[in-house]
Amino acid sequence: MESSLRLFINDTEVTVTWEDNEAVRTLAALVSFEPLAVQMSMYGGFEQVGSLGTALPRNDSQTTTQAGDIVLYSGDQIVVFYGSNSWAYTRLGRITDRTASELKELLGNSDVIIRLSLE
């Protein structure tokens, strides 16, 4: 199911390689009925963070993120990185079709809305 999970940042679709874990499967099931829009906020100069409105299964481990990484924080917040950070997260996926500088341009200038949907 997660192979057809799609992510849009504002109106730009990005290609994501999703993790094969319970959090991603639950996220895909959550958006299988209707797309989910998440209001994101810039944080720390390296990430966008937004509340999913529900908790997903967690499997947090200490992680050093890179631009393009998508993680779950505190079970109910999705984080998309355009920089790097080290913290305990559950990995959700990685944006694979944008460079670090393209991600910074897409995510690093203002708050964004991400949309998650199934094909």
- In degrees rounded to 5, what are phi and psi of residue 53? 85, 0
pLDDT band at 34 (very low <50, low <70, confident <90, very high): very high
CATH number at residue 96: 2.40.100.20
Domain count, the chain: 1
Over residues 47-105, the pLDDT tens digits come to 999 999 999 999 999 999 999 999 999 999 999 999 999 999 999 999 999 999 999 99
- What is the pTM for the complete model shown? 0.95
**Domain of 86, in residue numbers:** 2-118
- Say if residue 3's pLDDT is above 80: no
Per-residue pLDDT, averaged over 107-115, amounts to: 96
